[in-house]
Chain A
């Protein structure tokens, strides 16, 4: 819960104000969805995703856009987890982290979910596939920056 509040505040106060020439808009709040415990039931995960998205939407004045993208991210999370699960990362009570599962694993996991989140976010925001490659470039650049910050936060995150 603390991580939820911290991430939302970070997103609203700092990351919503980073906009390098309209191409890079990092959305680090997705990290909250990423670090929920491994064994969380999918339907709770989906509800959490929706709530997170709505909170961001209310503050950004973009009703529904973030909710849509975050639910999408929450929906693919279990699949991404099962796709690249490793022996060390099988403790269901743990939350996915680079400390328990290794940096490489966490990177692949983060980059996949963040990419899917940003992809649906930017394309729903544009509401269509006009300027497809322009939007795709924004997705790719923002995914890189978001992933960087999420991994950074994961490394400095206090361990239990």
Chain B
């Protein structure tokens, strides 16, 4: 007994240290429990009060930024009013693409979930079947192509982002109409690769890359990005590095693009190729 006491006294600091660290670890590992949230409910109302005061001060310093955002949103809303007044109907507005005769529908949506740091990124939008969204619709922001809808529920839809290694897009160089396949290599969220461009095509830095319109998802001539000048040669083709015009890190408002004649076109194309 004496020796035990002596032991405890000699190592009391070490013992206290281990007990306290053990208590801390238990607290960390149980911090998601419901009971814990009840125990600290009282403390939380105090911290909530303080946090709210701090947030009030914080939001004051953010006012300039918030203002900028509101101004640009206002501008966008004004533009949309113009659009709506031109066509007296709500929801979908129809635009006639006179070049190819395909009619595309546009519907605005808000990005409510988004990522850029994975290999297969998806974007969640706040419009679903209730608003007329179907899978296969294109998604674009005012800056450029964003993705394609792959799943729809009643109120939401999920789009495969252009920043998804499974995403392929038929894109062409606006200046000379040579087309290739655009895909993301999974590295930098600002750049994508345009492959299958023949050797002899003369390209310069800054050339505009647009959608080719071959896929029936996007109308032809929709902005995708600009060439950076970097290129990789291999085989008969060149792969060009494209700076995407849409900044995926700050996507908020996007447009859904529906092709009214898509079924007709695809049925025809299938018929012909099957014969």
Most interface-central of A16, A17, A49 (chain B CB within 10 A) = A17
Query: Interface segment, A28-36, A60-68, A95-103, A149-157?
Result: A60-68
Decide: B28 and A63 in contact? CB cutoff 8 A. Answer: yes
Given contacts A63-B36, A64-B28, contact A46 B23 (CB under 8 A): no
- Which residues of chain B have C-beta atoms less than 8 A from A47's C-beta? 16, 20
Decide: B17 and A46 in contact? CB cutoff 8 A. Answer: yes
Residue-wise, chain B 26-51 has the 8 Å CB interface mask toward A (1 for contact) of 11101100001000100110010011
Query: Quick check: is A12 within 8 A (CB to CB) of the other chain?
Result: yes
Query: Quick check: is A13 within 8 A (CB to CB) of the other chain?
Result: yes
- Which residues of chain A have C-beta atoms less than 8 A from B31's C-beta? 62-64
Residue-wise, chain A 1-32 has the 8 Å CB interface mask toward B (1 for contact) of 00000000000110011000000000000000
Query: Quick check: is B21 within 8 A (CB to CB) of the other chain?
Result: yes
Decide: B28 and A124 in contact? CB cutoff 8 A. Answer: yes
Once the chains are docked, how many angstroms separate the CA of A65 from the CA of B24?
7
Which of A42, A67, A127 contacts B24 (CB under 8 A)? A67
A66 to chain B, nearest CB (A): 8
Number of A-B pairs, beta carbon distance below 8 Å: 63
Which of A17, A43, A61 contacts B13 (CB under 8 A)? A43
Q: For chain A, give the interface size range.
A: 20 to 34
Query: Quick check: is A114 within 8 A (CB to CB) of the other chain?
Result: no
A7 to chain B, nearest CB (A): 16
Once the chains are docked, how many angstroms separate the CA of A19 from the CA of B58?
13
- Which residues of chain A have C-beta atoms less than 8 A from B12's C-beta? 43
Decide: B43 and A58 in contact? CB cutoff 8 A. Answer: yes
Given contacts A17-B58, A64-B25, contact A58 B47 (CB under 8 A): yes
Please give me the residue from chain B that is nearest to A16 by CB atom: B54
- Which residues of chain A have C-beta atoms less than 8 A from B21's C-beta? 68, 71-72
Decide: B13 and A64 in contact? CB cutoff 8 A. Answer: no
**Beta-carbon contacts under 8 Å, B44-82 to A:** 44, 47, 50-51, 54, 58
Interface residues of chain A: helix, strand, loop or mixed (majority): helix
- Which residues of chain B have C-beta atoms less than 8 A from A42's C-beta? 13
- Which residues of chain A have C-beta atoms less than 8 A from B13's C-beta? 42-43, 46, 75
Decide: A50 and B20 in contact? CB cutoff 8 A. Answer: yes
- Which residues of chain B have C-beta atoms less than 8 A from A65's C-beta? 24, 28
Which of A12, A50, A75 contacts B50 (CB under 8 A)? A12
Once the chains are docked, how many angstroms separate the CA of A46 from the CA of B50?
27
- Which residues of chain B have C-beta atoms less than 8 A from A49's C-beta? 20
Most interface-central of B20, B31, B43, B47 (chain A CB within 10 A) = B20
Decide: A64 and B26 in contact? CB cutoff 8 A. Answer: yes
Decide: A53 and B43 in contact? CB cutoff 8 A. Answer: no
Query: Quick check: is A59 within 8 A (CB to CB) of the other chain?
Result: yes
Once the chains are docked, how many angstroms separate the CA of A49 from the CA of B162?
50
Decide: B54 and A71 in contact? CB cutoff 8 A. Answer: no
Please report B residues at the A interface, Cβ cutoff 8 Å: 12-13, 16-17, 20-21, 23-28, 30-31, 36, 40, 43-44, 47, 50-51, 54, 58
A-B contact pairs, 17 of them (CB 8 A): A13-B54, A17-B58, A47-B16, A50-B24, A53-B24, A58-B47, A59-B51, A62-B31, A63-B31, A63-B36, A63-B40, A64-B25, A64-B31, A67-B20, A67-B27, A75-B17, A127-B28
4 additional A-B pairs beyond A17-B54, A67-B24, A67-B27, beta carbons within 8 Å, are A12-B54, A50-B24, A58-B43, A68-B24
